[in-house]
Structure formats: structure tokens, C-alpha cells
Structure 1
Amino acid sequence: MFETAGPSAPTTVVTGSTGRLGGRVARRLAERGIPQKLLVRSPERAPRLTAAVTVRGAYADQDAVREALAGTHTLFMVSAAESADRLAQHKAFVDAAAKAGVRHLVYVSFYGAAPDATFTLARDHFHTEQHIRASGLAYTFLRDNLYAEVVPDLVGEDGAIRGPAGSGRAAFVALDDIADVAAAVLSRPEDHAGMTYDLTGPESLTLDDAATILSEQLERAVTFRRETVEEAYASRASYGAPAWQLDAWVSTYTAIASGELDGVSDAVPRLTGRPATPLADAVRAAAR
């Protein structure tokens, strides 16, 4: 049913392979000839890759996770889908990984993760990092800035990006860059134990800058319209989202305004051997 790696069970496990980031990482490991297990909730959706075994498991299902991770040396953990109980899912998964004997956990965190981060979901990432540290596992944290490929999704039907970001800046990072860094780390995890890498694009941009770039790449007029925090909540209230999700949406912009997503790191070029991808290139590639 699934392609296998031969008589030796893979010792590297990748989560999230049905998604945009985990799928990229899994494909890069396959290209490098690294046997891997793909831990997914829906095996029928997992990519079919050479030297890959697909196993079922959800983060909160500790028994299934322990069984799936038996014999694992290195685990790549993509954060769970946004939800009110995401932190609890993360903690359960980390606990199961430790009990299964995993040696090294590579976790996809967020730029500026802190207990008092403006972006509310960055607080969950901080507490997940703390739980991993306390687990006794060797670890590497990949703290991603906002995904470059998501920027076009911020544009409304009228061609406007709206939010209380002011003149703040973010160093949008391409998914391919994150995946290349992750593959490099997973290929030689011992070289990266205890490290935290801030992953950014090559420049910090305002949303006015981003709108100009989108206009050029999408060949349609895109503008950025500043909202107050009150206007931002009001404009999103019609979606019927729970309060925690509204807070997350709005605080994405207020985190930019606060300067918490500003700053360019050299981690991508240092770990991949090539320059980080500009927003324009990432948007153009995603639009193909």
C-alpha cells in the first residue's frame, strides 16, 4: 500500500506532510535519500515518496503517537492546526515523543515567540518550546517569520489589505526556504542541537511595500489600508469566528505595528548556502 525503505525502519519522522510546509520537507528528504516515516491523521492524503512509510496518528492520541514513533531518532514537528486547544495538543505530542524514546525534536516555531508576544499564537509557540526544553529531548527550534506565500491571501476582493499594522515591518519568509533549512537540519541534527534559528526573508517590508510588490506580481492594483484595532475587530466580526481566532487575526497586524516581526536573520543563507527568497519571487512562484 505504501512505499517502504526496505528492511531497516526509518529513524526520521516528519509530521504535516499533507500540508504546504511538511510536504516540502518530506520531498526534500526523499530527494536526499533519507528514509522517513510520515506521521499523518489521514494516510490517504500523504504524498507517495521513495523510502517513506506512512503511519497514522493525531497529536493528542498519545498511544498512537508512541507506537508510531517507536525507534525514532529525529522528529520534525509542524505545529498543529490553529485551535483553542493547540497548546494542549502540542504538550501531549511532546510527552508521547519523549516516552517513545525520540532523541531529537525539530519544532517549527514562530519569530519572536515569547510569553507576552503581541501575536497571540506566538505565545503558544513559546510555551511549546518551554515544554520541549523540559522534556529532556535534544531540540532545534525554527522560528519562522510570516509566510511569504500567505501575503496574497490578505488581499480582499476590492484589492485592499486591511489591518492595524501601521508602518511596521515584517521579514516575510518563503516556505521553500524554511523547508531547505529543515532538510539541512534533519540531515545532520546533531550539528544543530540546542539551536534556535530565526528564519526570515532578505528584507523587512511594510504592508505598503508588500502591496506594491503584489501589484507588480499579480498584475492588478493592490493597496494597504490602515485600520484601527477597533475597526479591525469590527470588520472581521461577520465571519462568526471564536474570540481566540479574532484575537489571532488582529494581532498578526498589531505584531507588525509593534516591530516584533521586523529584522533580517542570516540563518537561511547560512544554512542553505544561497540567499533568502525575496517576497516578489515567492509570490511569483506561488502564482504559477
Structure 2
Amino acid sequence: MTTASPAPALVVTGATGRLGGRVARRLAERGVPQRLLVRSPGRAPKLPGATVAAADFGDREAVVRGLSGAETVLMVSASESADRLALHRTFVDAAAEAGVRHLVYVSFCGAAPDATFTLARDHFHTEEHIRERGPAFTFLRDNLYADFVPHFVGEDGVIRGPAGQGRAAFVAQDDIADAAVTVLTHPDDHAGAVYDLTGPESLTLEEAAATLSETLGRTITYHPETIEEAYTSRAPYNAPRWQLDAWVSTYTAIASGDLSQVTQSIPHLTDHPATPLAEVLRTARQS
């Protein structure tokens, strides 16, 4: 008679994406059993020790089934959308119904009801809903991703935005993944903790442009737009207003200083230094 293996007590969402995928691969390399909860099972990475369950954040019944038996869950925030907060609340409610003991939520630096970056307000309200629903929690509040800095550059080699001379402590996704694995594998040690995850330096966009120029071997410059110019230059994309506000407020959050603080959370959680932007860019070029 064959005895079925117990369901993994650890669930990772977002495993088909950049951050969740990094976390899932690291857990697999450590031999940690896990369940990957994804919208499209066919896109889930095939990893040793990993099972796959299908659920959309907005499908409460599917999420309850997908989280059945789970003790610790990595909740990677849903893709940006007008209804993201509602999706998050549905997922959190389902996690509580499924009996999840600990939610590790990927949030954003400066999460607050009046945050300059508009999407950070959704993160704040998600955090509050997690607190209200009762499972133990750990919040990983990420700064802007260092990996995405090249995407700030237009086709003409110019970064445009109303960031003024403000600074951001861009953080590497690999560092975030390392930190998440530490928390997921020792959740009780981090219950109730809120970690601001940053890189080792705080850079203006002018300095980031100089780093890009040196690393990519072509000239990248920064043009500080006014807020009015920023909305005008992005109008041709015909994006909904909430999306335009999010794009523009990414830069005004830098200008306001909301993203300038450098913390020691990455070294504390990973036992290695946070990765500078230049190294993130060099690694990306080599891969």
C-alpha cells in the first residue's frame, strides 16, 4: 500500500513571474517542498519537490482549495490593475478561511494611506486587511526594482520624469528573493516584522543614468520633467487615469524623498551585502 505524500505546508504565489519564480527556484534548490499557486498551471516552472495548483486571486473558492493545508504563504502582489486591492482582499479572506497561519506579503516602501506613489496606498490597505483578518504576517516592503531601471529609458536614451533631484534606493530582485526565502523557511522568527528592502545606495536618476551609460556602453541621460509635462508625454499611450497616476507618481515619490532611505534589511536577512545597481545591470547583460 502506498501512502500519499503530505501536502506542502509552504505555498508560493507568482511563481510564473520574475520575483515569485526566483523564490520558488531557491526553495527547490534547498529541497523545500512547496506548492505553486498560479493562474496558468502550464506556465508554472517544473521544480523538484513542487506541486502546482490553479487559482486566480479573485476566485475565493479556488484560492481556498489551493491553500488547503498550507501553513505559510508567500503572497506576491497581483499585477497592477484598477481592482488590485479588491483582488488582494479576496485572497487574504480566502487564506484566513483556509486556515493559513502566516502570510508573507510583498509590499512597497512607504506604504501609507496618503503615499505619494499611488499604488503604495493599495499596499497599505492590503497590509491593514491582513492585520484585521488575523494570520501572522511579515511584510516585505520593496523599494523600486533595480532590475527595471533600464525600462525607465526611452528609445532616445533619455529618462524622463518629475523626480527632480530626489533619490531611490533601488533593490535587486535576487536580493528580495533571498530575503523572502529566509522568512519563508523560518516564519516564526519574523512574525509581525515589517522589512524595508533596499539596495546599498540611494541614487538620483541622473546618477542612475550615468551608471546605465557606463554599464550599457551608450549615453543615457536624465531629463527632469514637470508634472504637467509628465502627463502630457505619457498621454499618447491612452492608458487609464489610474495607470497614468501610477506612472507619474513613481517619479514624484522619488522627488519627495519617500524612496531614499537605505536600510540594512537585506544584509540582516540574507547574510550578504545588498547588490549595487551597477552589478545588477552587469549581471543582466551577461545572462
Give the TM-score normalised by the residue count of structure 2. Answer: 0.98
Match of 2:224 among 222, 226, 229: 226
- Structure 1 equivalent of residue 187 of structure 2: 189
For residue 98 of structure 1, what is the amino acid of its counterpart?
A: A
Output aligned runs, 1:73-112, within 5 Å.
73-112=71-110
SS of structure 1 residue aligned to 2:103: strand
Matches within 5 A, 1:107-256: 107-256=105-254
* Counterpart residue type for residue 225 of structure 2: E
Pick aligned residue for 1:47 from 45, 48, 54:
45
Aligned equivalents of 2:224 and 2:178: distance in 1?
Answer: 34
Q: State the alpha-carbon separation in 2 of the partners of residues 115 and 76 from structure 1.
A: 23
Alignment correspondent of 2:30: 32
Across the two proteins, how many residue pairs are aligned to each other? 283
Over aligned residue pairs, what C-alpha RMSD do you find? Answer: 0.6
* From 259, 266, 269, the counterpart of 1:268: 266
**How far does the alpha carbon of each residue in 1:140-197 deviate from its partner, in whole angstroms, 9 at most, with x for none?**
0000000001000010011000000000000000000000000000010000000000
1:59: which partner in 2? 57
Q: What amino acid does structure 2 have at the position aligned with 1:236?
A: R
Aligned residue for 1:102, secondary structure, equals: coil
Alignment partner of 1:68 out of 66, 69, 81: 66
1:280 alignment partner, one of 272, 278, 281:
278
Shift, 1:283, TM fit = 1.2
Q: What SS class does the counterpart of residue 168 from structure 1 fall into? A: coil
Structure 2 match to 1:3: none
CA-CA distance at 1:287 after TM superposition: 2.1
Gaps of at least 5 residues in structure 2 are: none
Q: Residues 86-112 of structure 1, C-alpha deviation per residue, up to 9 Å, x if partnerless?
A: 000000000000000000000000001
Rounded to whole Å, the distance in 2 between the matches of 1:108 and 1:32 is 21
> SS at the partner of 2:105?
strand
Gaps of 5+ in 1: 1-5
TM-score (norm 1): 0.98
Q: Which amino acid aligns with 2:282?
A: R
**Residues of 2 paired with 1:282 and 1:97: CA distance?**
34
Letter of the 1:282 counterpart? V
Q: Which amino acid aligns with 1:173?
A: V
**2:222 aligned counterpart, secondary structure:** strand
Distance 2:147 2:68 in 1: 35
% identity of equivalent residues: 69
Distance 1:35 1:269 in 2: 26
